[in-house]
Structure 1
């Protein structure tokens, strides 16, 4: 796929040198000693064994408690994606969203529906397809298709299920709007989404580079742009335009209901993400937001017993005592 080739080119020629320039380096990971009993338990039962299970594994393997605990810490760390992988993925998405947003502005700035959304229904359904609209759609469709195809290889976040729903809803929306000639309103939907995604991926990049203050500033700006674009412009301009105006000119049909259903699904996801974002902004403003609540971190592989804050594979922030048995911290 063309998107895959672009991804490889961007990560090798742009993201990797950029990461090196920012000082983003991979933490050295200790490879675990092969142990069939521990590996079987890790793969089939639990990645975070309880103390009783650890005691049983110690007897089975002839290892000390500390050795078993250390093995599981290192084995869990091997499952976690490295910071360079996350940096490259965020860099690729940021470059795409920026290019797509600029391309969308160029394609739409001289169109009447860019300034008056009611114009999306002018002369519908007999609307001509412009070259700029065609390529804008093809690029966005290809990108979201690549996200779906790469979903099992990319870093999994705690909103993994919501991301899958979002990608499929977006793909369905774009494909259906193309077939139903809802292309004008489709271009506006894509532009609105790309505007805030640029800032989100930029904040991730800076977070991986440990530019904390700059990252925090961009994240606050992202939160503002997200609220305005996804919770104000999207429902009160776009959905209002697709829900209220068409019945005034045409009798409702299947496409009318299906298209608006997809938009409502996206709006529900926007509300869910806005809730998470505002919670993070609140903690940030009151000084209780830590980097562990925004990104994945490895467990300390040292043999000391000091508590450390980590994020588990499901995205839950936990306080552990070095062997992964601590309770969850308040989020």
Structure 2
């Protein structure tokens, strides 16, 4: 293709995407919010570069420093053990790799006949092979450690960043004099690291085999990245910092509770942590988020903004609230099960014994 034609196509696409009326409304253009040495507006291209770079750093930090030199020692000291590969068996290995579903009893009988093992040996080999792939509770414990570490750092940094911000105490200031809101250095880092974390999770957690909640994670992480990007480009960063802060700290308790349960810790401490988590979740994500943040967006924001990007911003908040309500249902369901004395399972992720149960069920049919 002719280079001139490619350049024209790029220019036309860029002009269409960066349409001022869509992003900023009729009375404001991009030239009105250009950065100066005295006043820092959001850099339009920052979300396309810096979060990816920081995410790469987080992934390297996770894989080559935190896991081998810190998280693995904590996991082992809490009684976590890595899953081991079963004894090599090329026939069963090929069957395992080519079959995604749990084997039926007839399948197991066929496999045992083929390799000269009894059915119990085949079942045990398949369970051990599956557990090695998924990582078992050891990998879940490692993942929970990383989330506790990151959310703790971000919660402390977020509180430090927001403690002197006037819009934390008067949410109407999120809209006053928009879009002429200076983006302080601490807010810039809070945003970029927040986006980077969800990019990193897309590459750390989502590819893991055996997760039941992959679709939910992809939707949540993608939605969060898009929401933060839109609020950054349009300089709704004040509201964005409040949303990010409200959604940070509660995950520390959730992941801490998981770690205690994986390590078979004292059930009393698990109950205390989960109980506190449920209370904070309801306060922050079912209380403050819809009735303080979303209320301001829909009541105060609607009277000021008519551009399409603001409607898109509102729609993203609604989708995030729907996810919060879905998880609230799951959390309350688990809480009720606990009160009724039923066995509690982590229904937001895969249970390493799922396939074991499936094999046993098929055997008993």
Which of 329, 340, 351 does residue 275 from structure 1 map onto? 329
TM-score by length of 1: 0.84
Task: Indicate if the aligned counterparts of 1:54 and 1:65 stay in contact, CA closer than 8 A.
Answer: yes
1:163 shift after superposition: 1.0
Task: Indicate if the aligned counterparts of 2:158 and 2:245 stay in contact, CA closer than 8 A.
Answer: yes
Question: 2-side partners of 1:114 and 1:138: how far apart?
Answer: 20
For 1:63, the equivalent position in structure 2 comes to 117
1:178 shift after superposition: 0.7
Residues 1:203 and 2:257 are matched in the alignment: yes
Which of 228, 235, 240 does residue 295 from structure 2 map onto? 240
Residues 1:224 and 2:267 are matched in the alignment: no
Shifted more, 259-268 versus 287-296: the winner is 287-296
1:208 shift after superposition: 2.2
1:90 shift after superposition: 1.1
1:224 shift after superposition: 1.3
DSSP 3-state at the match of 2:302: helix
The count of residues paired between Structure 1 and Structure 2 equals 308
Task: Indicate if the aligned counterparts of 1:32 and 1:74 stay in contact, CA closer than 8 A.
Answer: no
**Larger relative contact order, structure 1 or 2 (CA cutoff 8 Å, min sep 6):** 2
For 1:109, the equivalent position in structure 2 comes to 163
For 1:172, the equivalent position in structure 2 comes to 226
Task: Indicate if the aligned counterparts of 2:285 and 2:324 stay in contact, CA closer than 8 A.
Answer: yes
TM-score by length of 2: 0.77
Shifted more, 175-184 versus 241-250: the winner is 241-250
The 3 A distance-change label for structure 1 pair 91 and 27 is closer
Residues 1:311 and 2:354 are matched in the alignment: yes
In the TM superposition, what are the counterparts of 1:182-201 in structure 2 within 5 Å?
182-201=236-255
For the pair shown, the structure with the greater C-alpha radius of gyration is 2
In the TM superposition, what are the counterparts of 1:11-90 in structure 2 within 5 Å?
11-21=67-77, 23-26=78-81, 29=84, 31-36=86-91, 38-90=92-144
Question: 1-side partners of 2:206 and 2:350: how far apart?
Answer: 17
Task: Indicate if the aligned counterparts of 2:206 and 2:218 stay in contact, CA closer than 8 A.
Answer: no
Which of 55, 59, 72 does residue 4 from structure 1 map onto? 59
Question: 1-side partners of 2:160 and 2:333: how far apart?
Answer: 35
1:171 shift after superposition: 0.5
C-alpha offsets along residues 215-268 of structure 1, whole Å, 9 cap, x if unaligned? 221011111111111111111111111122122123x21111111111111111
The 3 A distance-change label for structure 1 pair 129 and 147 is same
Query: Which residues of structure 2 form unaligned runs of 5+?
Result: 1-55
Question: 2-side partners of 1:127 and 1:49: how far apart?
Answer: 60
Task: Indicate if the aligned counterparts of 1:319 and 1:326 stay in contact, CA closer than 8 A.
Answer: no
1:195 shift after superposition: 1.9
Question: 1-side partners of 2:364 and 2:327: how far apart?
Answer: 28
Query: Which residues of structure 1 form unaligned runs of 5+?
Result: 299-309
Bigger proportion of residues as helix: 2
Task: Indicate if the aligned counterparts of 1:174 and 1:186 stay in contact, CA closer than 8 A.
Answer: yes
The 3 A distance-change label for structure 1 pair 292 and 151 is closer
1:9 shift after superposition: 2.6
Question: 1-side partners of 2:183 and 2:73: how far apart?
Answer: 40
Residues 1:256 and 2:256 are matched in the alignment: no
